[in-house]
Amino acid sequence: MAFPKFKLLSFLSIAGVASASSMIRHKRRAALPVGFTRQGAAPASEMLTLRVGLTSNNINGLQDRLVSVSTPGSTDFHQWLSMDDVKAYVQLSPSTIDAFNSFASANGLQPNVVSPNGDWLSITLSISQATALFAANFEQFTHPNITTPLTRTLSVSLPEELIGHVEVLHPTTAFNTPTPRLASSRTARSRLSRRTIPPDSCLGPEDTITPACLQTLYSHACDPDEQHPPSDRIR
Ligand SMILES: *[C@@H]1O[C@H](CO)[C@@H](O)[C@H](O)[C@H]1NC(C)=O
């Protein structure tokens, strides 16, 4: 039973490499951020978990609606959105779901949904498979203020069939610049667990987004220590 399975997997990885002709560059970083040092190729057999942000069906529509909700004189002024209203804008289109599912199954990947609306997935694959599937070159990078090396690539591409469907692939080219605050894992953990509890102002009875709730969420988002969740070091 193990032999046919092995043959199937090697056929799939050949198929993955064969589609490399239609790769489209997704992100590229010309230089390393200050403080990081290249330590050489990441081990090919090491496993990597990537977060995949799929494209919402109408994020521009949501932005327009939020502007009109907050613009005095517009017909939507103060017509707050319910969770379902928001969901209608951010949910995935069937073609995005199909495109990612076909890509995943053709390459033996098992995506896990990691967000309430299904727009964030995680996939776990070897460095060598990630290198082939995304025309990447994963290397390890150290920084004096980080205890574990980061695995990153300076360039990442997407197969043509995922263009318009995948918006974010992380971690690939993004480097979190460490702060002394995040270097303490105890502090990071307590900040992280605090973030999972919605602020009181967001716990209204009618499932609506209120100005007080937005204000609380946005002042959190503006806290420079909160911009880079320390997920890299929890891998
Ligand atoms: C490391 O952290 C120290 C203390 O906050 C800081 O002064 C230094 O600039 C950091 N080093 C790098 C390379 O960012």
Give pLDDT tens digits for 108-130: 999 999 988 889 999 999 999 99
Max Cα distance, the chain (Å): 69
Q: Is the pTM of this model over 0.85?
A: no
SS3 145: coil
Whole-angstrom Cα distance, residue 191 to residue 184? Answer: 11
Instruction: Give rounded-to-5 percent helix, strand, coil for the chain.
Output: 45, 20, 35
Task: Say yes or no to pLDDT of 56 above 80.
Answer: yes
**In ligand 1, which atom is closest to the CA atom of 145?**
1
Ligand 1 lining (C-beta closer than 6 Å):
35, 144-145, 180
For the CA of 180, the nearest atom of ligand 1: 5
Closest CA to ligand 1's atom 12? 35
Q: Is 192 helix (H, G, I), strand (E, B) or coil?
A: helix
User: Over 60: is that where the pLDDT of 30 sits?
Assistant: yes
* Token pair in block for residue 7: 């043959």
Per DSSP, 224 falls in state G
Rounded distance from Cα 180 to ligand 1 centre (Å)? 7
Q: In whole angstroms, what is the distance from residue 119 CA to residue 173 CA?
A: 20
